[in-house]
Structure 1
Amino acid sequence: MGTTNILIVEDDKLQRTLIRKVIDNGQRQIAEVETAQDGLRYAQDNPVDILLLDLSLPGRFDGFSLWEALRRNKRFADTKVIIITGYDDPQDRIDAENLNIDHYLVKPVNAAELQALIARLEA
């Protein structure tokens, strides 16, 4: 298996740093951005195998909007998406399911759970 390309879209720098520390095993290519617009720009120019996505982001677009824009492109058909949000909103969970998002996690995320989830998505 080749390198897994992971994009973290999270506006909180501390959260981005914590997530990176949890998932960085030295064999993954990990990029971080803080807005949906930056995530869209990054993804248009780089491969993304796994997208770790906060829902509440600064700017005009939220996490769902970013995934809706990306999933229209066949290049992202195999991209796995994990929502990592501070809000356990039932409607957001329904929206995530309707958008074929792979997993929905609520902060604070259990490190072992996130590590295992990433490993399963890589398999």
Structure 2
Amino acid sequence: MTKVLYVEDHEAQRDIMVQMLELYGYEVDVASNGEEGVKKAQEWRPDIVLMDIRMPGRIDGLVAIRQLRNGPDTADIPIIVVSAWGSAKHKERALNAGADAHFTKPVTMDELIAAINRHLK
């Protein structure tokens, strides 16, 4: 079963996404901020990470992406940004930090599942 780590600070959005991803057959774990996301990725070793950008705490999504890209055990994990920040500047920052793709909320499940499958190959 494909393991997806979803890093998102809004609990309601986390809950909805977890339910949807589980309906598609994914095993899902969650983190509520960048620091927790990095730690869970290092421990759980997901097949892919879905990452919000703007989150509370010491580490936002961009810093978390950079840390994952620099980690020996996490550097190759695909990272898809799912963020309310959708300007060209924000997309560029996410991709420059090491994200493999960027989607602006709200994203359809069809788009997201297609991206997950594309980046797992």
Q: Same fold (TM over 0.5)?
A: yes
Deviates more, 1:8-17 or 1:108-117: 108-117
1:17 and 2:2 equivalent?
no
Match in the other structure for 2:29? 31
Contact 2:66 2:98 in 1 (8 A): no
Amino acid at match of 2:44: N
1:109 and 2:107 equivalent?
yes
Counterpart of 1:95 in 2: which secondary structure? helix
Counterpart of 1:76 in 2: which secondary structure? coil
1:88 and 2:86 equivalent?
yes
Counterpart of 2:73 in 1: which secondary structure? helix
Q: 2:88, 2:115 → 1: CA distance?
A: 21
Contact 1:22 1:115 in 2 (8 A): no
Amino acid at match of 1:104: H
CA positional deviation for 1:78: 2.1
CA positional deviation for 1:108: 0.8
1:97 and 2:99 equivalent?
no
Q: 1:52, 1:31 → 2: CA distance?
A: 10
Distance 1:90 1:45, change over 3 A: same
Q: Which of 69, 72, 76 does residue 71 from structure 1 map onto?
A: 69
| Count of paired positions | 121
Task: Give the RMSD, CA atoms, in angstroms.
Answer: 1.6
Counterpart of 2:29 in 1: which secondary structure? strand
1:62 and 2:46 equivalent?
no
Task: Identify unmatched segments of 5+ residues in structure 2.
Answer: none
Q: TM-score, normalised by structure 2?
A: 0.89
CA positional deviation for 1:94: 1.3
CA positional deviation for 1:95: 1.4
Q: 1:100, 1:41 → 2: CA distance?
A: 17
Deviates more, 1:24-33 or 1:56-65: 24-33
Q: 1:26, 1:83 → 2: CA distance?
A: 19
Match in the other structure for 1:41? 39
